[in-house]
Amino acid sequence: MDKQTDVLMNLSVLYRSTQKYYDRMLFSMKLTYAQLPILIMIYEREGISMHDIAQSGVYDKGTISKTVKHLEQNGFITIMTSEKDKRNKELYTTDYAKQQMSKVYEIRRDWWQHLIQNIDPSTFDEFLASYEIMASNARAYAESQQENLVFFEWKKVSVSAYPDKMATVLSIAGCNFCCPSCTKSDLVYIPENRKAIADTEIRQYLEKRAGIIEAVCIEGAEPLMHPHLKEFLKYVKDLHYMVKINTNGSFPSFLQELIEEKLVDYVSLSLKSGPRSYAKTIGMENFDTSLISRTLEILKESAIDYDVTIHLIRQFHTTSVLKSMMNWISHVKHLILVPFNDYSSAIQKDLCSIQPKKLGSIIELCQPYCNQLEVRE
């Protein structure tokens, strides 16, 4: 198992074991693990409001109300109207709770001592400080609730990514497919420690190079999965860049929106298979291929440039599959065939390219279904 997954797994083990321990130890007191942090917070800050609890513990209001209600029903706390502001409620522990708290602290201490056994005391303070920072980062994220568009790969200059233009190429992570032939598994199975490229660095570059670099290409994984893409494209368009998006074609409505708002100039649609075998080639059991049909329609009806790209894989693209793909696309502006040759980095390792001798007949088969046919190495 790789290291990034271990972090998540360890957190999960820690959480579940801690929950089990506390629930067992607190059972006779009619307390639960979930109620404990809130009860301790009230005990240590008598008169605290639900709002303050929500802020310090990143709880939502519903969870707090439910927990407070249970604590009150079981005789641990009382809820009083604030003398300063009648709209506010203040929470206080009862005498019963106060009598239980030393037992609660003992239980908490025992578990902590159990967890930290075998940890080298000389590194422990450092660990605790890092742990504190992680919790504070998590809180800050929950408070800001911001989701920005995040890029993980960046080819600053490319002369091949956008037809006849000098472009910069940015890659987003995350995909709704899991194609066995995917060669960007790092953008699909995003490692926890994968560093994003600083937004400011990208923006400074784009602002400085506007007029020199002519186009911005957004690739993935799948760019159209991210609603924040639109804001970013508006920014890019304000700098007068041409925009190209590579997509797997499964977000037709968002694509249409971007085209209508003139935020995209070129789309490259990666077509994986014919309708009947589509799900298999994207690593799924079932898939609604009408999404791809709709994307094809949108591209054909629009005034923007586009291509349909097929990575030819021996195991998937038999003559009958290619025929069904051609019947499906019917007639497109620009078809690009790419014999698949990136065996080592694909998710499924035993995939291979079509036999070179078959390329001629494939070209012959596909030619009638497009204005322009291109074969790329």
Return phi, psi of residue 94, to 5°.
-85, 170
Q: What's the min distance (Å) between Cβ of 1 and ligand SF4?
A: 22
Return phi, psi of residue 71, to 5°.
-65, -35
CB 365 within 8 A of CB 319: yes
CB 305 within 8 A of CB 245: no
Q: What's the min distance (Å) between Cβ of 245 and ligand SF4?
A: 13
Asked if 294 touches ligand SF4 (CB under 6 A), the answer is no
Task: CB nearer to ligand SF4: give 222 or 265.
Answer: 222
Long-range contacts of 204-210 (CB under 8 A, 24+ apart): 205/156, 205/168, 206/168, 206/236, 206/239, 206/241, 207/239, 209/168, 210/239, 210/240, 210/241
Task: CB nearer to ligand SF4: give 107 or 187.
Answer: 187
- Binders in 305-344 for ligand SF4, by CB under 6 A: none
Asked if 177 touches ligand SF4 (CB under 6 A), the answer is yes
Task: CB nearer to ligand SF4: give 224 or 326.
Answer: 224
The SS3 call for residue 230 is helix
Distance from C-alpha of 243 to C-alpha of 258, rounded to nearest angstrom:
11
Q: What's the min distance (Å) between Cβ of 222 and ligand SF4?
A: 5
- Binders in 51-70 for ligand SF4, by CB under 6 A: none
Q: Where are the alpha helices (DSSP H) in 261-318?
A: 278-281, 290-301
Task: CB nearer to ligand SF4: give 22 or 316.
Answer: 316
Residues 218-257: x where in contact with ligand SF4 by CB under 6 A, - otherwise, as a string: --xxx-------------------------x---------
- Binders in 67-96 for ligand SF4, by CB under 6 A: none
Q: Pick from 71, 77, 104, 188 the residue near ligand SF4 by CB under 6 A.
A: 188
Please report which helix (H) or strand (E) contains residue 156, including its range: strand 151-162
Distance from C-alpha of 79 to C-alpha of 230, rounded to nearest angstrom:
47
Task: CB nearer to ligand SF4: give 23 or 342.
Answer: 342
Where on the chain is the footprint of ligand SF4 (CB under 6 A)?
175, 177-179, 182, 184, 188, 220-222, 248, 270
